[in-house]
Structure formats: structure tokens, C-alpha cells
Structure 1
């Protein structure tokens, strides 16, 4: 996916920020994340679950690992929206270390997650429609200056 196809609709709260007067952000159910993580490991050739790290402030994502015949995969579960990305390694926040989802990630999509491709995650933020984001989120974007959609979605801004 390149260009406009790589960009999907950003919704209010996807940065993990809100104005103090806004309603609380939705939360991704940890039980669903963990159940899907185990299902994905079962679907992977020789897959085994590894570690699962619940988000710690200021991160807006949970991180989990699955090891299969192709090596170790780092899964990022967005803390507020049913989004999943794959990364090359464990980081505090992400901007460019994303990987293409393995074939077995279809199990995550079947569980209701949107599994993001590298093209989607590396899509320039300048090409993204940010009109649905709140003023608080737009202020954070101006402050932190993420260059890509992935850097906006999986961040550790405070």
C-alpha cells in the first residue's frame, strides 16, 4: 500500500491524548489482547508466546513477543484502539522500526484488530487527515512533531 491507500482515518483519541474535559478514551481490553496473542502464537509455525508488557505511562501501547521459525516478533497493541503493529525490537516508542505483519497475523484481524502494514505506519503524517483529532492532540503533534502515522499511533509522549 502506498500513498492515500496507506493512510486510514485517524479518530479522536488515537494519539492517546485527550483534553481534561473530554470523555475518557476507550481502552483495549487486556484479556482480548492476551487471548489474541496466544491464538496468534498457535497459528505461527512453531510459535511460542514470550513476554507481555502492559503499557506504562506515558506509552500508549502494550508490547508482546512471539517467537516462531522466522525469529522474534514484537507486537504492539494500541492501548485505546484495536490496532496492532509489528516491530523489529523492543523500544520505548516507535517511529521507524516497524515490520510487515507475518501471515499468521490474520488471527489478530479475525479477533477484531486492525493489523497495520509498514506502508500504513510509515505514511507521512503530512498526508494524513487529522481533522477528527482533538485540539489537545493537535497541540501534542505540534510539540512532538511525529513524521509518520506510526510515530503518532505508537508513542510515549507525556
Structure 2
């Protein structure tokens, strides 16, 4: 069963421990390795900034453009359809073959099946109270909407 880790939403209790962080530099390196594996290029990279809980990039390859998302707290990678680097609800796609370049660098590549799963289908025990307050407020339908959000 997939487990959502404490802080994955980008929220924490005021007195809670600091959240882990995936530096944009680490994500950038993964994007360039993946683009090489795809025989393509990185079009652009956008660093996570409030209120987004993720970094994003667009990689252009011979078979089209894909948006790559990286949770800013955990090295979790997801793919969304052709886009401009901004997540659109329910736009997740299956990881391409070249996504193995991210896995080789220690990232966890999330399947579309996991991303589209309801929260009730995954382990949420580690989520903090502050995260549940946001989840109750924003009502995300899926794991993907929870992990890759722009809540404020």
C-alpha cells in the first residue's frame, strides 16, 4: 500500500518539525538526465513557490511534450500531459520509458494508478493534523491532487 508521508502536502503544525526538502537543483539534474534518456530537451523548469507544493518542468522529446512534477518535500515524480508546467486537475499520465532516469537518481516515479487513487486507498497515518485540516478544506479527490497541490 502506498504511504503518504508527513509534510507531503507542504503543510505542518507550527510546532512540528521542519519539513524535508527536495532542492530544485536536485530536480533540475534529474530533468536533464531524463531529457538525455528521452533524446529530448528540457524546455523550462519552475521552482516550487508558495502556494505550490511541487517543482515542475516541461521535457520535449520526439514523441511530444510532458510536464514533470516533483513534490518539493519528497523526491516523488509524476507526469502530466503536454502542458506549460502547471498542473491541471486530473491530467496525470503513465510514466514514459525514460522516467527510469529519475529512478536511477533516487526519485520515486509515481504511477498514474497511484496518482488517481482516492485517499482512502492509501496509508495516510503519517499525515499531520495541519495537513488534515487542509485536506478537509480543499477536498482533494485523489492522491495526486493531495501530493501536487496549490493550496493556500
Are the equivalent residues in 2 in contact too, given 1:19–1:134 (CA < 8 A)? Answer: yes
The 4+ residue runs of structure 1 with deviation greater than 3 A are: 90-95
CA RMSD of aligned residues (A): 1.3
Contact 2:68/2:79, CA 8 A, preserved across alignment: yes
Match of 1:58 among 51, 54, 72: 51
Q: What residue in structure 2 maps to residue 104 of structure 1?
A: 98
Query: Could you report, residue by residue, the CA deviation over 1:39-87 in whole angstroms, capped at 9, with x for unpaired residues?
Result: 111000x311110111121000011011001100100011110100000
1:1-158 counterparts in 2 under 5 A? 7-44=1-38, 46-88=39-81, 89-90=83-84, 92-158=86-152
Q: What count of residue pairs does the alignment treat as equivalent?
A: 151
Query: Any stretches of 5+ residues in structure 1 without a counterpart?
Result: 1-6
The question of whether the paired residues in 1 share the 8 Å contact of 2:94 and 2:112 is answered with yes
Contact kept? 1:28, 1:78, Cα under 8 Å: yes
TM-score (norm 1): 0.91
TM-score, reference length from structure 2: 0.94
> What secondary structure is seen at the aligned counterpart in 2 of 1:42?
helix
